[in-house]
Amino acid sequence: MPRTFLATLHFDGTGFVGWQRQREGRTVQSEVETVLERLAGQAVRVHAAGRTDAGVHALGMGVSFTLPDRWTPIALHRALNGLLPGDCYVAAVREAHSGFHARRCATERQYRYLIGTDPDCRSPFRRRFEWALGTPLSIDRLGPLAERIVGEHDFKALSVRASRRPHTRCEVRSAQWTERAHGQGVSFEIRANRFLHHMVRMVVGTMVEIALGRRHGADVERLLAQDPAVVTSPPAPAQGLYFMTAVYDDQWFA
């Protein structure tokens, strides 16, 4: 009988056109499925807790799939890291009960966004992993903006309008800006039950423009209220965004 697994995947999104398999371009999904097909001797479909865009990274993406019952979590963990490309890494493998699905069963997801505000943010060793803004940002101005999006709101105005989701309401359980170590800049952490396409990047882009004095502070509330006279700012660059983790009920695991 096939066994169901959850792999916790890290990846550097720089060389990918996103998570989801596409007609053209290298994707994380295709890399993982190619390796699993080799291990299983047959095609394997994988499901991720979220669908990241081109350039977005992950430090804890949940990926579920089924394999023949000869595979154990320990053996599978070793095999995946031996065969996946260098910009992917499996941190852990757990066996799950039949019916588990990494996206549908997730009760919460967390993202992080990094912004560099110091001159060294433009270093080639940093700029592919953060928004190299190079301009000071005030936590005193950003903090209250994050507090305004906590709770259940309609984020339609802060996402891609062409989204096919059945509804655009999300419950943001926490949102916080903090100073990064060594004066490198700021970090934004957000947890919610679900996220819309480009939602985090549009939230960050809008808050940064407010903090820089380029738009009014009340625009966050007006966007959440879907005021037709207000439009969101351009999304923050993809390379600053990280999928951090997905949360699942313990009942799914052996």
Select which of 12, 53, 118, 219 is catalytic.
53
Residue pair 60/246 in contact (Cβ under 8 Å)? The answer is yes
Residue 138 burial class via C-beta count within 10 angstroms: exposed 0-12, middle 13-18, buried 19 and up: exposed
Cα(46)–Cα(86) distance, integer angstroms: 19
Nearest alpha-carbon partner for 190 in 242, 138, 129, 135: 242
Torsion of CA 223, 224, 226, 230, to 10 degrees: -10
Is residue 53 flagged as an active site residue? yes
The crossing angle, in degrees rounded to 10, of helices 139-148 and 199-211 is 140
Nearest alpha-carbon partner for 243 in 104, 21, 52: 52
Instruction: Tokens 């994050």: give the residue.
Output: 146
One-letter amino acid at 210 equals: I
Nearest alpha-carbon partner for 92 in 66, 50, 59, 70: 59
Collapsing DSSP to helix, strand or coil, 193 comes out as coil
Residues with catalytic function = 53
